[in-house]
Amino acid sequence: MLFKCKNMNSWVLSIKNKTNTKYYHHYFCSCTKEFRLQTEINEPDAPDILCPMCGNDYFKDAVVFENMKSTKIWKYFKWKSVKSEDKDYWNISLKYQTPIYDNITHEAKLISKDLLCIKLKKDGSVAYEVSYKSKIISQYSLFLNDKVQAFKKLLFDEAKENLYNYVMINKSKSIQWIDNNDIIEFSINDKFKYITFFLKNSHLKEHRFFFWRMNNIHNYTIKHATQIEMLDFIVNNRKEKSIKKTLYQGYENSINNIGYCPYSDYIFSRNINNVDLLIKLYGIHPIIKQQIFTDETFSVAIEFILFLKLHYTEKQIVKLFVEDMQDVKEYKERLNNWRDTLRMLQTINTINSLQDHFLKVKLTTKKLHDEIVRVFNIISYEIDVKENFEYDEKYLSTCGIYEKLEFKLPQTVKELSLWAKTLHNCMLGYSRKIHKKQSIIYGVFKAKELLYAVELNNFRIVQAKATANGNVSDEDMKVIKSWNNNSLVKIQA
Ligand SMILES: [Zn+2]
């Protein structure tokens, strides 16, 4: 058999004439030759004849074809694909030609019928839409490439492929930048997801946006978000162009280097209102930014920055991240300090007790870290030790002014921790020993200023130290010794 026109099938349409005594058999060959036979007998079956032009002898019966009740497997069937485009859609229609008898002209002629239509909306608001136009689609299979294939699936696959190719050749403005080579390995369905995503988010013009996932933030807040929703979410739905621009540039820069980690941008957006300051934060180098906040610490970090805002201006807070933390020589150490700070805030729920214990310090990573260590220690002791110290009456009686110095016993863990902070020493570590009466610590004041800490054991001085474990002046040391001899040592004696 020869088929000169590859998209045509060969048909025969048998129609009874007006007198009901004869049949006219209209042949439409795939080679485009048409011819007609007339039979006298009342017999609808068309005679088996050859096409006089090409010699083809196989003609499908056009009447039976569309009214077949059972399923059927064809050896071949041809159809064609028609492309079109309008304001809103790209369209592909798969059609076939079949003869009908025209009752007005009394002629048999070929008409076109739809099998399947598929279209893609240009604004990306929906996925591709498919409609099946003919019942023959589900009735037939085709023996193709040595196997029986469901006609429906064959058509559907071809239509999708054609639609994709058509869209890529006739790209709309918003997806002009898309490079076919970037997605050549994709399945056809993923290709459509990809195109649809960028049709919908027409301001995103970068391949990698398609792959952007942020599962943790995702779970923390909203479900089933698209990437553009996530972007809006990261910037806290802020509309300022400069903010979005910087975020996108930072994202681009980040993904080119190490991949994008959204937590820092997310936290900054939520806490810093000033546009210029926020842009400075977005501009921090991605490698540093990635380490400031992680998925493990970001919820405590949000609370912490909110807390810091009670004590510091946005400008001071931003300076902490943009200047202090990025010191050329010490940035690793400072980042470690900062991350350690967040970990302490997270442990034993320190963050919730900040309000009670935090004392404002100069806002540097180092000083902030030391302050949180102090608070952390207080809270650690509060958990398993009581707050108030109890003392033997003998010790209490020695409190007060002696010569120019004043001797005090700390009444609470908090007071001891404040002294430790003032003297920059590890006194707080003595809380347990004080509670167990294994140690006694006096604070020594001159003119209301805490100058020294004196530790006693069994009524005698073990050590007396000034700030940062420095030495007590000779003059004051004489007074301290005298105080000890004249009070406690005597009591003991
Ligand atoms: Zn022919």
Q: 320-330: per-residue pLDDT in tens? A: 999 998 888 88
Strands (E), 326-404: 400-402
> How many Å lie between the centroid of ligand 1 and the Cα of residue 3?
7
Task: Give dist(CA 311, CA 231) in Å, integer.
Answer: 30
Residues 56 and 93 in one domain: no
Give the per-residue pLDDT at 120.
98
Residues 128 and 195 in one domain: yes
Give the per-residue pLDDT at 493.
61
> How many Å lie between the centroid of ligand 1 and the Cα of residue 407?
120
Question: Quick check: is 229 in a domain?
Answer: no
pLDDT tens, residue by residue, 373-411: 888 888 877 665 677 888 988 888 889 999 999 999 999
Compute the average pLDDT of residues 206-234.
60
> How many Å lie between the centroid of ligand 1 and the Cα of residue 489?
129
What is the number of domains present in the chain? 4
pLDDT tens, residue by residue, 269-306: 988 999 999 999 999 988 888 889 877 787 789 889 99
pLDDT surpasses 50 at 2: no
Does residue 103 or residue 310 have the better pLDDT? Answer: 310
Measure CA 444 to chain center: 57
Number of Cα atoms under 13 Å in the Cβ half of residue 172: 19
Residues, Cβ < 5 Å to ion ligand 1 = 29, 31, 33, 51, 53-54, 56
- Which value, to the nearest 10 degrees, does the dihedral of the CA atoms of residues 319, 323, 326, 330 take? -110
pLDDT band per the 50, 70, 90 thresholds, residue 219: very low
Residues 424 and 484 in one domain: yes
> How many Å lie between the centroid of ligand 1 and the Cα of residue 80?
19
> How many Å lie between the centroid of ligand 1 and the Cα of residue 50?
8
> How many Å lie between the centroid of ligand 1 and the Cα of residue 162?
29
> How many Å lie between the centroid of ligand 1 and the Cα of residue 28?
8
Q: Give the pair of three-digit tokens for residue 45.
A: 């079956």
> How many Å lie between the centroid of ligand 1 and the Cα of residue 58?
10
Number of Cα atoms under 13 Å in the Cβ half of residue 181: 0
Does residue 369 or residue 6 have the better pLDDT? Answer: 369
Asked if 61 contacts 12 with a C-beta cutoff of 8 angstroms, the reply is: yes
Residues 110 and 190 in one domain: yes
> How many Å lie between the centroid of ligand 1 and the Cα of residue 54?
4
> How many Å lie between the centroid of ligand 1 and the Cα of residue 147?
27
Residues 6 or more apart from 310 whose CB is under 8 A from it? Answer: none
Lowest mean pLDDT among 102-111, 221-230, 359-368: 221-230
Residues 161 and 194 in one domain: yes
Give the per-residue pLDDT at 4.
41
Share of the chain above pLDDT 70, in %: 91
> How many Å lie between the centroid of ligand 1 and the Cα of residue 296?
74
Residues 305 and 407 in one domain: no
Give the per-residue pLDDT at 27.
95
Q: Give the pair of three-digit tokens for residue 439.
A: 């140690």
Helices in 215-330 by DSSP H: which ranges? 215-220, 227-234, 241-257, 263-271, 275-282, 286-292, 298-311, 314-322
> How many Å lie between the centroid of ligand 1 and the Cα of residue 13?
15
> How many Å lie between the centroid of ligand 1 and the Cα of residue 133?
29
> How many Å lie between the centroid of ligand 1 and the Cα of residue 95?
21
- Which value, to the nearest 10 degrees, does the dihedral of the CA atoms of residues 95, 96, 97, 103 take? -70
Question: Quick check: is 273 in a domain?
Answer: no
pLDDT band per the 50, 70, 90 thresholds, residue 228: low
Asked if 412 contacts 420 with a C-beta cutoff of 8 angstroms, the reply is: no
> How many Å lie between the centroid of ligand 1 and the Cα of residue 35?
10
384, 405, 434 — which closes off a domain? 384
Question: Quick check: is 187 in a domain?
Answer: yes
Helix, coil or strand: residue 419: helix
pLDDT surpasses 70 at 357: yes
Does residue 318 or residue 380 have the better pLDDT? Answer: 318
Compute the average pLDDT of residues 35-64.
86
> How many Å lie between the centroid of ligand 1 and the Cα of residue 116?
27
Residues 50 and 84 in one domain: no
Task: Give dist(CA 482, CA 480) in Å, integer.
Answer: 5
pLDDT band per the 50, 70, 90 thresholds, residue 75: confident
For residue 362, give the H/E element and its range: none
Lowest mean pLDDT among 67-71, 322-326, 442-446: 67-71
Question: Quick check: is 105 in a domain?
Answer: yes
pLDDT surpasses 70 at 222: no
Other CB atoms within 10 Å distance of the CB of residue 194? 18
pLDDT tens, residue by residue, 105-164: 888 999 999 999 999 999 999 999 999 999 889 888 998 888 999 999 999 999 999 999
Task: Give dist(CA 121, CA 85) in Å, integer.
Answer: 10
Residues 56 and 115 in one domain: no
Average pLDDT in the chain = 85
> How many Å lie between the centroid of ligand 1 and the Cα of residue 298?
75
Give the per-residue pLDDT at 184.
92
Residues 397 and 464 in one domain: yes
Give me the DSSP letters along 157-169. Answer: HHHHHHHHHHHHH
> How many Å lie between the centroid of ligand 1 and the Cα of residue 109?
16
What is this structure's pTM? 0.53
Q: Which residue, chain included where needed, has tokens 């604004």?
A: 123
> Regarding beta strands 23-28 and 72-74, do their DSSP bridges make them parallel or antiparallel, or are they unpaired?
unpaired
> How many Å lie between the centroid of ligand 1 and the Cα of residue 30?
6
> How many Å lie between the centroid of ligand 1 and the Cα of residue 1?
9
> How many Å lie between the centroid of ligand 1 and the Cα of residue 6?
12
Compute the average pLDDT of residues 255-262.
74
> How many Å lie between the centroid of ligand 1 and the Cα of residue 157?
30
Question: Quick check: is 213 in a domain?
Answer: no
pLDDT tens, residue by residue, 458-486: 888 888 988 877 889 999 999 999 999 88
Question: Quick check: is 474 in a domain?
Answer: yes
Give the per-residue pLDDT at 310.
94
> How many Å lie between the centroid of ligand 1 and the Cα of residue 64?
21
Question: Please, what sign has the CA dihedral across residues 318, 320, 323, 326?
Answer: negative
Cα–Cα distance list, 103 to 18, 43, 45, 109 (Å): 11, 21, 21, 11
Question: Please, what sign has the CA dihedral across residues 262, 268, 270, 273?
Answer: negative
> How many Å lie between the centroid of ligand 1 and the Cα of residue 443?
115
> How many Å lie between the centroid of ligand 1 and the Cα of residue 27?
9
> How many Å lie between the centroid of ligand 1 and the Cα of residue 104?
27
329 φ/ψ angles, rounded to the nearest 5 degrees:
-80, -35
> How many Å lie between the centroid of ligand 1 and the Cα of residue 44?
22
Give the per-residue pLDDT at 329.
86
Give the per-residue pLDDT at 224.
45
Residues 435 and 477 in one domain: yes
pLDDT band per the 50, 70, 90 thresholds, residue 84: very high
200, 233, 265 — which closes off a domain? 200
Question: Quick check: is 319 in a domain?
Answer: yes
> How many Å lie between the centroid of ligand 1 and the Cα of residue 472?
118
Give the per-residue pLDDT at 385.
63
> How many Å lie between the centroid of ligand 1 and the Cα of residue 313?
88
> How many Å lie between the centroid of ligand 1 and the Cα of residue 7?
13
Task: Give dist(CA 9, CA 130) in Å, integer.
Answer: 25
Residues 325 and 377 in one domain: yes
Question: Quick check: is 343 in a domain?
Answer: yes
> How many Å lie between the centroid of ligand 1 and the Cα of residue 75?
18
Give the per-residue pLDDT at 1.
33
Residues 410 and 304 in one domain: no
> How many Å lie between the centroid of ligand 1 and the Cα of residue 57?
8
> How many Å lie between the centroid of ligand 1 and the Cα of residue 48?
14
* Edge-first strand listing for the sheet containing 60-61: 34-39, 23-28, 11-16, 60-61
pLDDT surpasses 50 at 220: no
> How many Å lie between the centroid of ligand 1 and the Cα of residue 31?
4
164, 179, 200 — which closes off a domain? 200
Task: Give dist(CA 383, CA 386) in Å, integer.
Answer: 8
What residues make up the domain containing 464? 393-492
